[in-house]
Chain A
Amino acid sequence: MEFDFTPVVTYFPTLLKGVGVGSLVAIAVALMSVIGGLVVAVISIYTKKLVSWPLRFFIWLFMTTPLLLQLYFLYFGLGEWILIPAIVVGILGLGFHYMAYNADIFIATIKSVSDGQYEASRSLGFGHWNTILYIIVPQAFIRSIPQLGNNMILMVKDTSVLSAIGVAELVYASQYAISVSFRPFEFFIVIALMYYVINILMELGQAWLERQTAYRR
């Protein structure tokens, strides 16, 4: 078999557009899942069962069902009643999915902050919620960075699943080009490389963040 990368070059702007859409989705999902995950974790740890149990059920639900099914459910299921743009469904679907996984991490790291930290803060006169805000959560966050980084790398790769509901990210963007050029192999090699580069950059960023916070643990 002979390789011919000229169609890839021809359609490269389309692929870049796909990277753009995928990045936009990834950034929105990262913000939503990290902030949301933190809020879910704090609430599920520090509030009464009436509030925390539904949240724990939510985490459990999103962690035990496939992402693709969740996306279909949101897009086609809810689509029966309201029409939501695919990209919004994609962000919400991936967002909730990774929110559950991130919440799971934050629950573990929040619980790992020693009782002595809580007591020291309270003894200074900080209230319960101020202690969580200023003392517990920042420390838990720093401890979460390695696992959060892993989750976010998984999440970036999972943006490709959104092609199934028609979000014009990288994989979806390549499909038309592949169908007219009959060169799937070449396209998939280049797409894989693009994911590879993005994830290497993310890993470098994560390593940098870990170094910056190492002495604050």
Chain B
Amino acid sequence: MRLKHVTGLLCAAAMSLVLASGARAQDKVVKIGAILPMSGGTASIGAHAKAALEVAMDIINNAHPELGNLPLAKNAGLSGLGGAKIEIVFADNQGNPATGQNQALRLITEDKAAALFGSYQSGVTLTSSAIAEKYGIPFLNSESVAANLTERGFKWFFRTTPIATDFAKAYVDFLADIKAQGAKTDAIALVHDNTEYGTSVANTISAAFKDKGQAIAIDVAYPVNATDLQGQVLQLKEKKPDVIIMISYTSDAILFAKTMQSLDYKPPVLLADDAGYSDPSFIKAVGKISQGVFNRSSWAVGPFGSPSAIIADMYKKKSGEEMDDTVGRQMQGFFVLADAIDRAGSTDPAKIQAALKATDLKPEQLMMGYKGVKFDDKGQNVLASGLIIQLQDGENYTAVWPKANAEKAPVLPYKGW
């Protein structure tokens, strides 16, 4: 009898030890669902985003005191939740709005994600965030720029990136500036695909120019992932606009560059709206025949040893790619979400929502060149901003506008190849 008791006690003691150490080893984990295009025409974007988010996860979950004021970098894990680790559940949206919606549903109901993050294409963000809204789960979007996303009266949707209206204003001012320096900017052509991103950004830009009394001269719409763009380039070549604004994903951006070279067409000013033109594989594939293209960005690598330079280095080690504006905005958005969960001190959706609403980050706490992060009632970051960059040498973008942030002066006309 006694022996049995003793063994029983010993067993119990051993078990509790195992349990206790087990509990300590796995700690608490906060799951965040990330919906990204891991396959389909924009799969390169998804692959880069995954690497970027894994770097962000490393920065949050491990101690990185070298990153200074960046929230959550100093300590390991989320101190607001007793050092809990962040775990990202990646879901492939295939660049397809319906798939994005299904993945959002899966992440919420099966993986029990505390918050959702994504989904790159505005069209996919539109549908997947609607599911989060229905279930009352916070959804943070860091890179979709279609204006209407924050015009739906959603309570659970938050967006950190500058949006189409911000950039449309920047384009108007930028073109006015180079006009003052002698460039001709009267006839503007908008070239865009037929996705949510392409059409809505084109509308926003065209409205911004109309406000200044300048109508868009030519509107060229084409189907996304085109097999051939000769007709469109010939249309432009015939109508000779002074400025072309390109709103295209990577595949079409590359095909446009190749077709423009083969038909020997160069517009005087080529201004791209991020997306494909910020994809490092665009620069590798056709950078040399796209010299002088302007683009928008909120990312600048900063001096050696600065947090942004360290992060860029970590990202390059992870992915083998140079850091670009898109992944930068994605990492920044993810930090904002993690910071809110940390301040909420809980995975309760309502508490995370409240913490997101109370977000007030200063420029020195950010890795991107925003003036800060603060959401309005619609969930839009009102302090988001960006600059104009130019691919002067065909290899690297340099900041050229506004003057305060410029590393070099803009070079005109568009050189091409």
B is bound to A: no
Give chain A's interface residues, CB within 8 Å of chain B: none
